[in-house]
């Protein structure tokens, strides 16, 4: 996904400042880039902490001032002692103060300067993110933000403390203008609403959706939408119908655990407003494939917690689940509680900073076993077969349009298809399972399905193999260093 936050900062820079925008997921910043620059702006999430610090080190080799903003530093400024400027919080007064200081003098200050936003810029006054600075056609999926914040207070989540409980909003017109711009800049495929909770303000969601429906009609359903929302969206048929019409096809829900006691303990009772499996089936009936977050290592977990998760995966037939170890993030009720209980362990050899009730090794081996068993090619393709039967036929069937059948889309699809067939169908060690799924689809011309399932399945199978053999961290927040591909100098 394109880095939204930094694109917004790029669009907010004073007129006349020239920007070279580098996403190191696409290419590493070179010496020539650093020589060209007067100052470097960096952003990232906790998972990227080693790379964030590495960019700072490289910039300092060129004696450049480096400013860091974004979600990780906003929650944990203490993670980044080497940066010249820390920008804590969202776009607002701190941002303009940073621009003023760098405009006056771009040299490195004598000591670290921390600027904290006290007055956030109203989201309705956000500029359009600077998508034109990126090769948008190189991204798997585009991203857009409609709202920020979430009314709930799940114990492990830092969203309410960082972004507030009363979601702030962009106007539908802003969202439409961003979508137009993304299309102009070459985005194809899908756009993900990165909002913490797409139904954080249900009335606003209902106001936005008809605009998305109209936009899709105007643009020949060029894009599929995805979003992140609480599972109680299953109780809102009026929202789900409009989402179907707007061609939403995927929804991430933080289901976390199928255990009601655990949901209560983490203050996530809203997941039980409908029985979880019924909620998943309801979403499927509107054509929405569910992606689920799952957490292991909860205080309520018993020795057989992994079996419960695997049973839930079989029952729900959700293909993609992000199974993760519990991590106590600063600025969460969980962090405060564990601190009081003396159960925080800062040890970079561990995958979590939580002193679990169960033995650490048991929790990590449960995670490895869940990953290994949930993502065997047989199990994974069977879950996708279930979606083919029970979910995809319920989707809005968009008409063939010149936007969907554009030459660039066909070329992109053919490139992806030939890569998948070569790497998985010819060279892959699970090609039998792949062809069992792909052949009937290819025969009926459903190439899109072969591409989308083939690509995601391959990533999951390879990732899960690494995970079950101990080559991946069990928590996406872990600071344990694996063989991280650090950008070339
Ligand atoms: S519902 Fe989601 S975004 Fe909201 S507090 Fe809970 S985990 Fe965080």
Q: From ligand 1's centre to the CA of 469, what distance in Å?
A: 31
CA of 252 to the centre of ligand 1 (A): 12
pLDDT surpasses 70 at 486: no
Residues 354-372 pLDDT 10s: 999 999 999 999 999 999 9
d(CA 370, CA 471): 15
Condensed to tens digits (0 to 9), the pLDDT of residues 308-323 reads 999 999 999 999 999 9
- The region that residue 462 occupies, defined by phi over 0 for left and psi between -120 and 50 for alpha, beta otherwise, is alpha
pLDDT band at 400; cut points 50, 70, 90:
confident
Nearest CA to ligand 1 atom 8: 157
For residue 483, what pLDDT is reported? 47
The CATH 3.40.50.280 portion of the chain extends over 4-116
pLDDT for the residue 487: 39
The secondary structure element, H or E, covering residue 313 is helix 305-316
What b/e sequence results for 165-175 when a residue is b if at least 16 CB atoms lie within 10 Å of its CB, and e otherwise? Answer: eebbbbbbebb
Answer whether 253 contacts ligand 1 (Cβ < 6 A): no
Under DSSP, the state recorded for 344 is B
Architecture in CATH for domain 4-116 = 3-Layer(aba) Sandwich (3.40)
pLDDT, the chain, mean: 93
Q: Is the pLDDT of residue 471 over 90?
A: no
Instruction: Quote the Cα angle for 480-484-488, to 5°.
Output: 145
Residue 478 confidence (pLDDT): 65
- Atom of ligand 1 lying closest to residue 152 CA: 5
* 247: pLDDT strictly greater than 60: yes
Looking at CATH, the fold of the domain delimited by 135-389 is given as pyruvate-formate lyase- activating enzyme (3.80.30)
Handedness of CA 351, 255, 380, 224 (dihedral sign): negative
Residue intervals in the chain for CATH 3.80.30.20: 135-389
Q: Encode pLDDT of 128-186 as tens digits.
A: 999 999 999 888 899 999 999 999 999 999 999 988 899 999 999 999 999 999 999 98
Give the pLDDT confidence of 105-132 residue by residue, as tens digits.
999 999 999 999 999 999 999 999 999 9
């Amino acid at each position: 996904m394109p880095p939204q936050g930094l694109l917004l900062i790029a669009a907010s820079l004073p007129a006349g400042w020239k920007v070279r925008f580098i996403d190191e997921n696409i290419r590493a910043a070179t010496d020539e880039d650093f020589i060209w620059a007067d100052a470097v702006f960096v952003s990232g999430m906790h998972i990227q902490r080693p790379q964030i610090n590495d960019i700072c080190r490289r910039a300092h080799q060129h004696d450049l001032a480096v400013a860091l903003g974004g979600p990780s530093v906003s929650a944990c400024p203490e993670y980044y002692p080497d940066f010249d400027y820390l920008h804590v919080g969202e776009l607002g007064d701190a941002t303009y103060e940073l621009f003023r200081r760098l405009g006056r003098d771009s040299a490195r200050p004598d000591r670290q300067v921390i600027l904290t936003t006290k007055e956030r810029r109203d989201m309705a006054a956000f500029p359009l993110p600077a998508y034109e600075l990126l090769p948008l056609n190189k991204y798997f999926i585009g991203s857009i933000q409609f709202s920020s914040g979430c009314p709930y207070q799940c114990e492990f989540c830092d969203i309410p403390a960082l972004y507030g409980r009363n979601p702030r909003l962009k106007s539908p017109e802003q969202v439409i203008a961003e979508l137009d711009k993304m299309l102009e800049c070459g985005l194809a495929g899908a756009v993900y609403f990165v909002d913490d909770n797409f139904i954080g303000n249900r009335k606003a969601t209902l106001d936005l959706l008809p605009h998305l429906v109209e936009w899709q009609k105007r643009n020949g359903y060029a894009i599929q939408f995805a979003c992140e929302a609480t599972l109680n969206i299953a109780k809102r048929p009026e929202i789900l119908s409009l989402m179907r019409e707007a061609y939403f096809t995927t929804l991430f829900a933080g289901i976390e655990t199928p255990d009601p006691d655990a949901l209560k303990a983490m203050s996530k009772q809203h997941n039980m407003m409908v029985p979880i499996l019924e909620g998943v089936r309801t979403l499927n009936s509107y054509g929405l494939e569910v992606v689920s977050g799952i957490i292991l290592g909860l205080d309520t977990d018993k020795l057989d917690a992994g079996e419960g998760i695997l049973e839930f995966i079989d029952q729900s037939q959700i293909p993609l689940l992000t199974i993760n170890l519990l991590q106590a993030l600063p600025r969460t009720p969980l962090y405060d509680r564990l601190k009081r209980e003396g159960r925080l362990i800062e040890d970079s050899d561990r995958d979590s900073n939580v002193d679990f009730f169960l033995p650490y090794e048991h929790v990590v081996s449960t995670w490895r076993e869940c990953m290994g068993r949930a993502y065997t090619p047989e199990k994974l393709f069977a879950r996708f077969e279930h979606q083919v039967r029970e979910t995809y036929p319920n989707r809005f069937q968009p008409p063939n349009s010149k936007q969907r059948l554009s030459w660039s889309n066909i070329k992109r699809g053919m490139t992806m298809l030939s890569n998948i067939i070569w790497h998985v169908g010819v060279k892959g060690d699970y090609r039998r399972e792949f062809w069992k799924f792909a052949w009937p689809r290819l025969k009926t011309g459903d190439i899109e399905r072969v591409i989308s399932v083939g690509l995601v399945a391959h990533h999951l199978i390879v990732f899960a193999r690494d995970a079950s053999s101990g080559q991946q961290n069990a928590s996406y927040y872990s600071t344990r260093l694996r063989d991280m591909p650090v950008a070339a100098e």
